[in-house]
């Protein structure tokens, strides 16, 4: 099929703009939200099945599960610059997650997580609508895992990743072209993990999640707004990567009741070098006015680092308190940033608590605030995205708020 690249990138979501650089969403449990995802070497309970399945073999002997619900509010971000001014729409979402760890089977254990690993949505009504009236792709990941404990110090784990994605892309202004696309896909990957406990107070961990290329296929209409006149109505496909990620973590019990964890995360965003939509025909052969949609949309993203710290404290036999902070570097190249994802570096702050309601049930809540830096572009940055609208620009006031509630239950 003839490739068609839209002027700006597709976006990934089930939840709105992700709470990490670009479109990752690492907060997928009460602990994950409360600790700003600094939860790898000290993972325990049911959500260890996702954050570090090698750790789930050190849980107590019975089965455990966690069910949680995260509400996300995205502030409106304000654009001022070439082409005029605009504000993105505020967004609100609810995301359920589920984690389960089986009873011990000798030195082995099995886990299952249902999460949302990545996310982004952007909707603009003014100048931004020319390339991002709506960019949305819903994703759900099913992640079964298995772990084995060699001894009381060392364990390993592996799992399969299955992601279902469904995307919507819309853009267009009066007296201009429009595009209206929808598609979905199932795609597969894997994850690996290990945990080493050299002493009772110290834990070292590493996890790796493979890249998964989302191979979205569906239908598209492309044409001119006046009329409206549809010039193309047919098949479309696009490949968008959920990048590989490596986490290295160390957790230390500074007292019997207080644990501090440091996490270094490397996300291999360089896999996202360009974006091409594939159509059954070359749109330029249908109408010369659609030729602008017929070139690859260059992304040229870079691998990026995230630095996380989390503190967990057992206040008494009923209450556990948590807090976290993360500094998240953006992978986006200023030369190609556009309305679909005007991403910048972020500072993330979080707190949370759990209450042991009974011997079997614990309830908890967590809050996270993600503040993006202001994006400032000048002609010297050489931006070529969004039809030139970002040649000179300021994008500010981007922020996200997460509130997670849920329960843990032991069988």
| Six-digit token string for 297 | 């949309």
Residue 343's pLDDT is what? 86
CA distance 299 to 11: 12
- Asked whether the beta carbons of 188 and 160 are under 8 A apart, the reply is yes
Beta bridge pairs of residue 245: 209, 267
Residue 13's pLDDT is what? 37
Cβ contacts of 171 within 8 Å, gap of 6 or more: 6, 7, 8, 129, 130, 131, 132, 133, 134, 178, 179
Residue 11's pLDDT is what? 36
Residue 276's pLDDT is what? 80
The pTM (predicted TM-score) of the whole model is 0.90
Domains delineated in the chain = 2-410 (2.40.160.60)
Residue 17's pLDDT is what? 43
Residue 331's pLDDT is what? 92
Is it true that the peptide bond before 228 is cis, omega within 30 degrees of 0?
A: yes
- Tell me which H or E stretch contains 335: none
Residue 294's pLDDT is what? 67
Q: Which residues of the chain have pLDDT under 50?
A: 1-19
Residue 273's pLDDT is what? 87
């Amino acid at each position: 099929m003839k490739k068609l690249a839209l002027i700006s990138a597709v976006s990934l979501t089930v939840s709105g703009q992700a709470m990490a650089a670009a479109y990752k969403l690492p907060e997928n449990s009460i602990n994950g939200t409360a600790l700003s995802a600094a939860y790898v070497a000290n993972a325990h309970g049911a959500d260890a099945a996702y954050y570090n399945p090698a750790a789930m073999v050190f849980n107590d002997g019975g089965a455990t599960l966690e069910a949680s619900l995260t509400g996300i509010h995205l502030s409106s971000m304000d654009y001022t610059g070439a082409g005029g001014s605009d504000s993105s729409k505020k967004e609100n979402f609810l995301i359920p997650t589920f984690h389960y760890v089986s009873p011990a089977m000798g030195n082995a254990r099995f886990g299952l997580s249902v999460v949302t690993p990545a996310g982004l949505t952007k909707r603009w009504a003014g100048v931004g609508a020319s390339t991002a009236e709506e960019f949305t792709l819903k994703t759900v990941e099913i992640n079964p895992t298995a772990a084995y404990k060699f001894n009381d110090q060392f364990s390993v784990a592996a799992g399969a990743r299955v992601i279902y994605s469904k995307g919507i892309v819309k853009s267009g202004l009066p007296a201009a072209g429009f595009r209206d696309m929808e598609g979905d896909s199932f795609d597969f990957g894997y994850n690996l993990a290990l945990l080493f406990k050299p002493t009772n107070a110290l834990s070292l961990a590493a996890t790796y999640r493979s890249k998964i290329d989302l191979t979205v296929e569906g239908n598209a209409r492309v044409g001119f707004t006046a009329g409206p006149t549809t010039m193309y109505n047919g098949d479309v496909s696009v490949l968008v990567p959920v990048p590989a990620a490596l986490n290295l973590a160390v957790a230390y019990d500074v007292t019997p009741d207080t644990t501090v964890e440091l996490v270094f995360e490397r996300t291999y965003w360089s896999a996202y070098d360009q974006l091409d939509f594939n159509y059954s025909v070359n749109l330029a052969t249908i109408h010369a006015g659609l030729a602008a949609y017929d070139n690859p949309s260059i992304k040229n993203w870079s691998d990026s680092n995230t630095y996380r710290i989390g503190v967990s404290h057992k206040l008494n036999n009923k209450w556990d308190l948590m807090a976290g902070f993360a500094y998240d570097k953006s992978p986006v190249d200023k030369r190609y940033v556009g309305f679909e994802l005007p991403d910048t570096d972020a500072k993330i702050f979080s707190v949370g608590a759990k209450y042991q309601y009974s011997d079997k049930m614990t309830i908890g809540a967590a809050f996270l605030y993600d503040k993006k830096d202001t994006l400032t572009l000048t002609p010297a940055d050489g931006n070529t995205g969004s039809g030139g609208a970002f040649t000179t620009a300021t994008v500010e006031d981007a922020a996200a708020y997460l509130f997670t509630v849920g329960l843990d239950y032991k069988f």
